[in-house]
Structure 1
Amino acid sequence: MPDYRRNRIPGGCYFFTVNLLDRDSDALVVHMDLLRNAVRKVRSRRPFHIDAWVVLPDHMHAVWTLPPGDSDYSGRWRAIKIAFAKALPKTEWRSPRRIAKGERGIWQRRFWEHTIRDEADYAAHVDYVHINPLKHGLVEAVGDWPHSSFHRCVARGVYPGDWGGAGAVVVGHGERGE
Structure 2
Amino acid sequence: MSYNDALAGRCSLPGHIYHLTVCTRYRQPFFSDWQIGRLVVRELQHVQAYLDVQSLAWVLMPDHLHWLIQLNETTTLARTLHVFKGRSAKTANHYLGRTGGLWQKGFHDHAIRQDENLQQVARYIVANPIRAGLVRRVGDYPLWDAVWL
Q: How does the TM-score come out when normalised to structure 2?
A: 0.81
Q: Is the 8 A contact 1:48 1:66 kept in 2?
A: yes
Q: Give 1:80's aligned residue.
A: 84
2:74 to 39, 64, 70: 70
Q: Extract unaligned runs of 5+ from structure 1.
A: 93-103, 157-178
Cα 1:44–1:51, aligned 2, differ >3 Å: closer, same or farther?
Answer: closer
Quick check: 1:5 aligned with 2:1?
no
Q: Give 1:60's aligned residue.
A: 65
- 1:40 is displaced (CA, Å) by 3.0
CA–CA distance in structure 2, aligned partners of residues 43 and 53 of structure 1: 12
Q: Give 2:103's aligned residue.
A: 107
Q: Considering fraction of residues, name the structure with more helix.
A: 2
Deviations 1:4-62 (Å, cap 9, x if unpaired)? 31132111111011110132323373412321332233233211111101111111101
Cα 1:23–1:53, aligned 2, differ >3 Å: closer, same or farther?
Answer: same
Deviating beyond 6 angstroms after TM superposition, the runs of 4 or more aligned structure 1 residues are: none
Q: How many residues align?
A: 139
CA–CA distance in structure 2, aligned partners of residues 14 and 4 of structure 1: 16
Q: Is the 8 A contact 2:38 2:143 kept in 1?
A: no
Quick check: 1:91 aligned with 2:98?
yes
1:146 to 133, 138, 142: 142
CA–CA distance in structure 1, aligned partners of residues 79 and 140 of structure 2: 32
Q: Is the 8 A contact 1:11 1:70 kept in 2?
A: no
Q: Give 1:128's aligned residue.
A: 124
Q: Extract unaligned runs of 5+ from structure 2.
A: 1-6
CA–CA distance in structure 2, aligned partners of residues 149 and 79 of structure 1: 20
Pair member with larger Rg:
1
CA–CA distance in structure 1, aligned partners of residues 11 and 118 of structure 2: 16
CA–CA distance in structure 2, aligned partners of residues 70 and 117 of structure 1: 21
Bigger RCO (CA 8 Å, 6+ sep) = 2
* Identical-pair percentage: 27
Q: Is the 8 A contact 1:21 1:108 kept in 2?
A: yes
